[in-house]
């Protein structure tokens, strides 16, 4: 049962942001909406803590469960990167300022008021394990001069860290040193006694799983791999501490969860997996350190399969209330009686609910994008296209709410990558922005996209401008065959490989598209091997050559598929967008395309985004989205005047959590 | 003491003369004068992208540029035909001093200036220490950003770019400049 009072409180805020009839949503509202970014419950089960964002301001709100009151407890001095419970009522805030700043906070009550005792710290390294059942202690890692060391540290000592705590040999002398390895490690696995048991080390394209027995001092290499197909990624130790849970193929086409015996370096049987989709992530309970769920995509929806029956049954029951949305448990008390449920979908940017497992009572407490009117959002449906070679292509079509009145113009929006990247049928600010202004949007998980198994991913190798584009064409054909999509009004928009795809699309089909947009798009494929950030690493260059072709021996072919060399054949207006600080697809790609467009007198527009890297921040997206909508309106809605975004209603602050009164 | 001081002064003067001699292979363009190249002269594109202020960029045939603030810089200079290599970067530090960074290996890009051409050796991308300080280890790469350079130079030097053909001056398999030049010729 969802508490009604909470929903009424939020509805007042949402109605205030509803657009006027005939107008779409504001890019400012979609990309920079105030809201709650994260809600967690303390290990003690006494507190709920929310991380709120409004513009550039971040803060924390707390409520003592059952008290009936919500209290702002922290106005953060800078952006918050993450919040972690490190004790029954104590949490650690990591800031995103690049200066290794953090804050320890302990919630308590005094005179009926919620109080926060806090202390700041500034230390290099990072959090490995919060050890929330051990108060005032956590596991922290340091990297100095080619060595990675892990320490069990008292928080007070970490707060007083100084460079004097380093020894002359580049090791850190702080707390109890639990492990030291050469190089850089990630995915540290710590058992429930606080001892590091495994880590993943990567160097020059080779990955190693390092393990240590419970009673041993040193780590040794249990497994080494280079190719993705042999990858084994550690998740956590098994409950008996003798083996590891890992993500691996294990002879299957898809990734699944297996056990791994470090002593014998043998992969155990599959514990959970699917034959049609990859398990691409796993959830580890941060309190108990146990593997609790496998995560995968099913028809574009993110699914969480909990390995314990009661939790799975509980989520299954909630499906009646949330039939089409993704459900995930993002935080639980130590006794697992209280948990935070995160619900999301194409028309739901994200909502947090507190659930009492004993009573089943579920209370909506916050939304991620408070000022976005979810009633105005457009839903997406999944299309499946079977190709002649047997490949099964999933695509997601978002239709504007006006599509029933007349066929909608279509924006084809291929994702970047192209390998090991994918689209999801989920909330996307740019897609909702376009849909709110009357455009349908088609996303395509063409061959090479992640999540559909190893064969499907490898089918995208060496298919730049070929098989990948054939898959996109097949999905477009499926979409335009519908009566609610206007096949005479199409544009193609994409970023990175998607930008390459957009340009390739107008070359392959000069009469199909009315316009094309490339955002940080690849225009000269051999240039990637000289200017991209990965080009400085030999193993990364070799990997890219495997996927796209070798410029040493196949330069002619790579130039043949490079749009910058075929501008003479372009007849379709092009909008070129690029970030000046893009290190993945150097701005030279955009400049080469523009120089040719200008020289050959082709219709085009240009937008340089100063300070932007390969991915745009929400703030950078706003003027880009507006400029693209202007361009799309000109070509897909001819005769209709461009209507500027509506004014964004003023925001008054974080929406406080509705109090939970169990 | 007096004799020794005179000796040092003579040595300093000789060094300055030698430096001038070294710098004479590369000369700035005089915007007030129509540019007509000598028979053994070409135009060299200097393209520098730096996040630290640079006191100087020095080649094996003299100083190419001095006093560059942080940012993106593209401009033309006159250069004697022949082989060059980037030899040294001088990074500005506080109080008007500079720190010398010798370029070695791949950083010391070789390029050839051909008379009667606009020669593009690539963009020199200079990145300072992680904290953005003006001293400390530098990362130097040469990237082919020919189109970026041409689009910038067209604003002030359209006539020169029309009069003198463009060419890649470095050892690169990149063929974009040739492709652009052919397309430009075809439109005339």
Rounded to the nearest 10°, the torsion over CA A154, A158, A159, A162 is 140
Q: Which residue of A has its CA nearest to B51?
A: A581
Q: How many CA atoms lie within 13 A of B128 on its CB side?
A: 20
Q: Which residues of B touch A551 (CB under 8 A)?
A: 173
Res. A7: pLDDT tops 50: no
pLDDT of residue A98: 66
Question: How far away is chain A from the Cα of B29, in angstroms, using its nearest Cα?
Answer: 25
pLDDT digits (tens, 9 = 90+) for B69-109: 999 999 999 999 999 999 999 998 777 777 888 888 877 78
CA dist., res. B68 & res. B91, Å (int): 9
Q: Which residues of B touch A599 (CB under 8 A)?
A: 180, 183-184, 187
Using 50, 70 and 90 to split pLDDT, how confident is the model at A145?
confident
pLDDT of residue A156: 83
Res. A45: pLDDT tops 50: yes
Using 50, 70 and 90 to split pLDDT, how confident is the model at B128?
confident
Q: Which residues of B touch A600 (CB under 8 A)?
A: 183, 187
- For testing the chain A interface, which of B147, B155, B162 should be mutated: the one with the most A CBs within 10 Å? B147
pLDDT of residue A22: 62
Cβ-defined contact of A524 to B176 (cutoff 8 Å): yes
The answer to whether the beta carbons of residues A245 and A267 sit under 8 Å apart is no
Cβ-defined contact of A588 to B143 (cutoff 8 Å): yes
CA dist., res. A502 & res. A513, Å (int): 9
Q: Which residue of B has its CA nearest to A536?
A: B141
Cβ-defined contact of B180 to A530 (cutoff 8 Å): no
Cβ-defined contact of B146 to A588 (cutoff 8 Å): yes
pLDDT of residue A105: 93
Cβ-defined contact of B179 to A536 (cutoff 8 Å): no
DSSP A263: T
Cα–Cα distances (Å) from A623 to A28, A53, A173, A611, A635, in that order, read 9, 21, 49, 14, 19
Kindly list the residues of chain A whose beta carbon comes within 8 Å of any beta carbon in chain B: 524, 526-527, 530-531, 536, 551, 555, 559, 564-565, 567-568, 586-588, 591-592, 594-596, 598-601
pLDDT digits (tens, 9 = 90+) for B141-174: 999 999 999 999 999 899 999 999 999 999 899 9
Res. A54: pLDDT tops 90: no
CA dist., res. A294 & res. B45, Å (int): 56
Res. A518: pLDDT tops 90: yes
- For testing the chain A interface, which of B176, B177, B188 should be mutated: the one with the most A CBs within 10 Å? B176
- For testing the chain B interface, which of A97, A579, A592 should be mutated: the one with the most B CBs within 10 Å? A592
pLDDT of residue A48: 95
pLDDT of residue A421: 97
Cβ-defined contact of A530 to B143 (cutoff 8 Å): yes
Using 50, 70 and 90 to split pLDDT, how confident is the model at B11?
very low
Mean pLDDT of A603-626: 96
Strand order across the A90-95 sheet: A80-85, A90-95, A101-110, A113-122
Weakest mean pLDDT among A30-44, A521-535, A564-578, B30-44:
B30-44
pLDDT of residue A651: 60
Candidates A85, A171, A105, A177; CA nearest to A140 is: A177
Res. B1: pLDDT tops 70: no
Cβ-defined contact of B143 to A586 (cutoff 8 Å): yes
pLDDT digits (tens, 9 = 90+) for A333-367: 999 999 999 999 999 999 999 999 888 889 999 99
CA dist., res. A449 & res. A432, Å (int): 22
Identity of the residue in A565, A587, A598 whose CB atom sits nearest the CB atom of B148: A587
pLDDT of residue B22: 45
The DSSP bridge pattern shows strands A392-398 and A206-211 to be unpaired
Cβ-defined contact of B183 to A551 (cutoff 8 Å): no
Q: Which residues of B touch A586 (CB under 8 A)?
A: 143, 145
Question: How far away is chain B from the Cα of A565, in angstroms, using its nearest Cα?
Answer: 7
Residue with tokens 């079977």: A386
Cβ-defined contact of B147 to A601 (cutoff 8 Å): no
Cα–Cα distances (Å) from A499 to A434, A516, A520, in that order, read 18, 9, 7
pTM for this model (two decimals): 0.91
Res. A396: pLDDT tops 90: yes
A414's CB contacts (< 8 A; 6+ apart) are A443, A444, A446, A472, A492, A494, A497, A498, A501, A502
Cβ-defined contact of A594 to B147 (cutoff 8 Å): yes
Sign (positive/negative) of CA torsion A350, A353, A357, A361?
Answer: negative
3-state secondary structure of B131: coil
Most confident range, picked from A14-28, A285-299, A488-502, B84-98? A488-502
pLDDT digits (tens, 9 = 90+) for A227-243: 666 889 999 999 888 89
Identity of the residue in B144, B150, B187 whose CB atom sits nearest the CB atom of A530: B144
Res. A12: pLDDT tops 60: no
Res. A520: pLDDT tops 70: yes
What are the E-state strand segments in B81-129? 82-92, 98-102, 110-113, 118-120, 123-127
Res. A17: pLDDT tops 60: no
Cβ-defined contact of B187 to A600 (cutoff 8 Å): yes
Res. A293: pLDDT tops 90: yes
Q: Which residue of B has its CA nearest to A556?
A: B175
Mean residue pLDDT of chain B comes to: 83
Q: Which residues of B touch A555 (CB under 8 A)?
A: 173
A111's CB contacts (< 8 A; 6+ apart) are none
pLDDT of residue B8: 36
Mean pLDDT of B27-38: 77
Res. A321: pLDDT tops 50: yes
pLDDT of residue A654: 55
Cβ-defined contact of A536 to B183 (cutoff 8 Å): no
A183 φ, ψ to 5°? 85, -165
The answer to whether the beta carbons of residues A441 and A477 sit under 8 Å apart is no
The answer to whether the beta carbons of residues A275 and A249 sit under 8 Å apart is no
pLDDT of residue A100: 78
Q: Which residues of A touch B161 (CB under 8 A)?
A: none
The answer to whether the beta carbons of residues A216 and A201 sit under 8 Å apart is no
B150's CB contacts (< 8 A; 6+ apart) are A595, B161, B166, B180
CA dist., res. A477 & res. A487, Å (int): 9
Question: How far away is chain A from the Cα of B137, in angstroms, using its nearest Cα?
Answer: 15
pLDDT of residue A172: 78
Q: Which residues of A touch B175 (CB under 8 A)?
A: 559
CA dist., res. B163 & res. B153, Å (int): 13
Question: How far away is chain A from the Cα of B24, in angstroms, using its nearest Cα?
Answer: 32
Question: How far away is chain A from the Cα of B80, in angstroms, using its nearest Cα?
Answer: 28
- The ipTM, to two decimals, is 0.87
Mean pLDDT of A632-636: 98
Res. A422: pLDDT tops 70: yes
Res. A494: pLDDT tops 80: yes
Q: Which residues of A touch B144 (CB under 8 A)?
A: 527, 530-531, 588
CA dist., res. B148 & res. B117, Å (int): 18
Cβ-defined contact of B183 to A568 (cutoff 8 Å): yes
Identity of the residue in B144, B147, B175 whose CB atom sits nearest the CB atom of A595: B147
- For testing the chain B interface, which of A531, A567, A604, A608 should be mutated: the one with the most B CBs within 10 Å? A531
Q: Which residue of A has its CA nearest to B139?
A: A536
Mean residue pLDDT of chain A comes to: 90
Question: How far away is chain A from the Cα of B30, in angstroms, using its nearest Cα?
Answer: 27
Cβ-defined contact of B143 to A524 (cutoff 8 Å): no
Cβ-defined contact of B151 to A591 (cutoff 8 Å): yes
Q: Considering chain A, what percentage of its residues have pLDDT values greater than 70?
A: 93
Q: pLDDT higher for A167 or A75? A: A75
Candidates A224, A233, A236; CA nearest to A256 is: A233
Question: How far away is chain B from the Cα of A605, in angstroms, using its nearest Cα?
Answer: 15
pLDDT of residue B15: 38
């Amino acid at each position: 049962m969802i508490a009604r009072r909470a929903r009424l409180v939020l509805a007042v805020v949402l109605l205030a942001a509803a657009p006027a009839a005939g107008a779409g949503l504001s890019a400012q509202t979609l990309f920079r909406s105030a809201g709650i970014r994260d809600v967690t419950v303390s290990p003690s089960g006494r507190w709920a803590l929310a991380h709120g964002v409004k513009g550039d301001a971040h803060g924390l709100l707390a409520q003592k469960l059952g008290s009936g009151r919500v209290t702002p407890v922290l106005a953060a001095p800078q952006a918050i990167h993450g919040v972690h419970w490190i004790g029954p009522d104590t949490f650690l805030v990591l800031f995103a300022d690049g200066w290794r700043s953090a804050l320890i906070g302990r919630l308590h009550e005094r005179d009926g008021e919620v109080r926060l005792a806090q202390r700041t710290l500034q230390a290099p390294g990072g959090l490995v394990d919060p050890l929330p059942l051990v108060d005032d202690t956590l596991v922290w890692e340091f990297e100095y001069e080619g060595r990675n060391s892990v320490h069990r540290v008292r928080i007070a000592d970490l707060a007083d860290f100084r460079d004097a705590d380093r020894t002359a040999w580049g090791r850190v002398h702080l707390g109890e040193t639990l492990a030291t390895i050469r190089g850089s490690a990630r995915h540290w696995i710590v058992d429930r006694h606080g001892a590091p048991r495994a880590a993943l080390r990567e160097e020059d394209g080779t990955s190693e799983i390092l393990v240590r027995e419970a009673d041993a001092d040193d780590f040794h290499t249990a497994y080494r791999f280079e190719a993705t197909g042999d990858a084994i990624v550690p998740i956590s130790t098994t409950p008996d501490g003798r083996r590891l849970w890992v993500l691996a193929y294990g002879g299957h086409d898809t990734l699944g969860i297996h056990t791994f015996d470090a002593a014998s370096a043998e992969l155990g049987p599959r514990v959970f997996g699917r034959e049609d989709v990859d398990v691409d992530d796993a959830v580890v309970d941060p309190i108990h350190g146990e593997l609790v769920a496998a995560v995968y995509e099913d028809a574009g929806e993110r699914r969480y399969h909990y390995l314990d029956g009661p939790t799975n049954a509980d989520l299954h029951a909630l499906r009646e209330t949330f039939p089409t949305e993704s459900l995930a448990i993002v935080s639980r008390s130590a006794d697992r009686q209280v948990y935070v449920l995160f619900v999301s979908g194409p028309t739901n940017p994200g909502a947090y609910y507190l659930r009492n497992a004993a009573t089943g009572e579920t209370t909506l407490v916050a939304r991620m994008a408070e000022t976005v009117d979810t009633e105005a959002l457009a839903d997406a449906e999944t299309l499946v296209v079977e190709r002649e070679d047997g490949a099964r292509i999933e695509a997601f079509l978002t239709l504007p709410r006006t599509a029933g009145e007349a066929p909608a113009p279509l924006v084809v929006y291929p994702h970047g990558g192209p390998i090991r990247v994918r689209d999801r049928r989920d909330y996307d600010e740019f897609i909702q922005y376009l849909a709110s202004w009357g455009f349908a949007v088609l996303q395509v998980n063409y061959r090479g996209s992640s999540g559909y198994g190893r064969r499907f991913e490898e089918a995208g190798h060496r298919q730049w401008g070929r098989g990948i584009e054939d898959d996109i064409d097949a999905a477009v054909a499926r979409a335009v065959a519908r009566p609610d999509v206007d096949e005479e009004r199409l544009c193609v928009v994409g970023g990175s490989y998607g930008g390459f795809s957009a340009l390739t699309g107008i070359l392959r089909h000069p009469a199909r598209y009315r316009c094309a947009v490339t955002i940080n798009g690849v225009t000269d494929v051999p240039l990637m091997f000289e200017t991209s950030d990965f080009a400085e690493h030999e193993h990364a260059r070799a990997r890219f050559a495997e996927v796209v072709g070798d410029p040493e021996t196949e330069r002619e072919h790579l130039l043949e598929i490079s749009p910058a060399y075929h501008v003479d054949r372009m007849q379709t207006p092009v909008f070129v967008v690029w970030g000046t600080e893009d290190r993945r697809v150097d701005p030279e790609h955009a400049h080469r395309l523009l120089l040719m467009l200008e020289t050959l007198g082709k219709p085009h527009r240009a937008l340089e985004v100063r300070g932007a890297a390969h991915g745009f921040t929400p703030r950078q997206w706003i003027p880009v989205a507006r400029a693209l909508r202007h361009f799309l309106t000109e070509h897909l809605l001819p005769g209709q005047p461009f209507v500027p975004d509506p004014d964004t209603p003023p925001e008054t602050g974080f929406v406080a959590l509705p109090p939970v009164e169990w | 003491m007096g004799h020794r001081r005179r000796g040092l002064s003579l040595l300093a003067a000789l060094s300055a003369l030698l430096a001038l001699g070294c710098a004479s292979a590369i000369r700035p363009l005089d915007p007030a004068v129509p540019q007509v190249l000598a028979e053994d002269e070409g135009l060299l594109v200097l393209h520098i992208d730096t996040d630290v202020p640079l006191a100087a960029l020095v080649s094996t045939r003299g100083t190419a540029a001095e006093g560059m603030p942080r940012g993106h810089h593209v401009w033309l200079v006159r250069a004697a035909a022949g082989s060059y290599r980037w030899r040294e970067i001088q990074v500005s530090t506080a109080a008007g001093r500079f720190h010398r960074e010798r370029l070695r290996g791949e950083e010391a890009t070789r390029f050839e200036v051909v008379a009667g051409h606009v020669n593009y050796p690539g963009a020199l991308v200079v990145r300072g220490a992680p904290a953005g300080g003006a001293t400390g280890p530098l990362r130097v790469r040469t990237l082919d950003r020919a189109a970026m350079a041409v689009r910038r130079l067209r604003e002030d030097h359209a006539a020169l770019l029309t009069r003198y053909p463009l060419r890649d001056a470095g050892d690169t398999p990149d063929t974009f400049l040739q492709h652009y030049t052919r397309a430009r010729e075809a439109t005339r």
